[in-house]
Amino acid sequence: MPEKQRIVVKIGSQVLCDPEGALNREVMASLVGQMAELARAGHQLLLVSSGAVAAGSGIARERIGKISDPVARKQVLAAIGQVRLMETYRALFDEHGLTVAQVLTSKSDFQTRRHYLNMRGCIEALLAAGIVPVVNENDVVAITELMFTDNDELAGLLAGMVNADLLCLLSTVPGVYEGDPDDPTSRYIDTWDPGRHQLEDVVQRGTSRLGRGGMHSKLAIALKTAKLGTDVVIADGADPRVLPKVVGAERAGTRFPAAGEASSAKRWLASADGHATGSVTVNAGAEAALLDRTRLASLLPVGVSGVDGDFSAGDVIRILGEDGRVLGCGRARYDHEEARRVMGQRGQKPLIHYDYLYLLN
């Protein structure tokens, strides 16, 4: 085994459940055994597990039919299935002498710096104690506006939060195919090369019946997470040795090498870019300065040509180019009123300091 790593493992519904929605205990036992092997080697494990809603549907299918509201039906399924899912994990990890902890989260936990740091503190304490956090979206209280796209997104955000060395996205395919997966001549990509491979060229949009996610989502999350400094692998969760292979750098799945290193603040901003409270538009000169990789530039009021929305100092706001493109986001130093007052002026303190600035490209 290589040096000790912090590893986030995400297991999707199709890996965990059979077509009827029941939990596949044999597959779960195999994956838990592999994680236990990694834990004994000194690695820290954080598990992001789908399957609560699917497991719930496998348990109470007849009773659920009496609930007409689709939102309430999903909440009930999640509440029922989460109990079965966690009890199964508890029993399986206990066989290897490992303790698990349940962590339910929602997208709102990533919105403010305070909530973000509180959750990170809890997970860091669990990892330090040798406890395996099992994280899932809190579907019982989640609403559409504050739902993760899927658990791939949640896993990517958590990898950034805990500064993980490796993110393993386990699916039902051996990796990202260069062509149509149904074509027997199509092969999967061993190592993603940004110079050769483009997201839209190699994957079709779509979701599975048991989960919200699809390969398009996995690939987008993999690229974003690698950019923030974490290696990512998309691999087949049915492979009985998939995790030791991935950690041991053996051929398994499609690997996305870490492309850089990001600070804790920038990792938080990367998780917060989907729920900014306002936006500013910058002129061409400011855009060029921000995107210039040879310099570290803050966003100064002189480069701002428009302010939109009501935000407070400390809120996350989007940065837009003159053509409306989203360039990134950052933590506002001023509220919206002060930002409008100093907009276009020289000699003012940065509206967004470089340390709290996250750019998409």
Span 18-33, pLDDT tens digits: 777 688 999 999 999 9
Q: How far is 105 from 139, CA to CA, in rounded Å? A: 9
pLDDT value, residue 340 = 96
Q: How far is 322 from 52, CA to CA, in rounded Å? A: 44
Burial 275-308 (b: 16+ CB within 10 A, else e): ebbbbbbbbeebbebbeeeeeebbbbbbbbeebe
**Residue ranges of domains in the chain, CATH in brackets:** 6-266 (3.40.1160.10), 276-359 (2.30.130.10)
For residue 207, pLDDT beyond 60: no
pLDDT value, residue 68 = 83
pLDDT value, residue 150 = 78
Confidence of residue 53 (pLDDT cuts 50, 70, 90): confident
Confidence of residue 213 (pLDDT cuts 50, 70, 90): very low
- The torsion region of residue 256 among left (phi > 0), alpha (psi -120 to 50) and beta comes to beta
The CB density around residue 200, as the number of other CB atoms within 10 Å, is 9
Rounded to 10 degrees, the C-alpha dihedral 111/114/116/119 comes to: -140
For residue 52, pLDDT beyond 50: yes
Over range 157-180, report the average pLDDT: 89
Single-letter amino acid, residue 229: G
pLDDT value, residue 212 = 39
pLDDT value, residue 205 = 41
For all residues of the chain together, what is the average pLDDT?
86
Could you tell me which residue, 3 or 200, shows the higher pLDDT?
Answer: 3
Q: How far is 155 from 161, CA to CA, in rounded Å? A: 10
Over range 60-78, report the average pLDDT: 80
> What are the CA-CA distances from residue 68 to residues 52, 71, 74, 144 (Å)?
20, 9, 11, 18
For residue 143, pLDDT beyond 70: no
CA geometry: angle 226, 153, 258, nearest 5 deg = 5
Least confident residue range of 98-102, 103-107, 282-286: 103-107
For residue 142, pLDDT beyond 70: no
Over range 208-212, report the average pLDDT: 39
Say what percent of the chain tops pLDDT 90: 52
Interacting residues of 352 by C-beta distance below 8 A, sequence separation 6+? 298, 299, 317, 319, 330, 331, 332, 333
Q: How far is 253 from 345, CA to CA, in rounded Å? A: 52
pLDDT value, residue 33 = 98
pLDDT value, residue 23 = 86
For residue 167, pLDDT beyond 60: yes
On the 0-12 / 13-18 / 19+ scale of CB atoms within 10 A, 134 is buried
Q: How far is 171 from 14, CA to CA, in rounded Å? A: 7
pLDDT value, residue 257 = 92
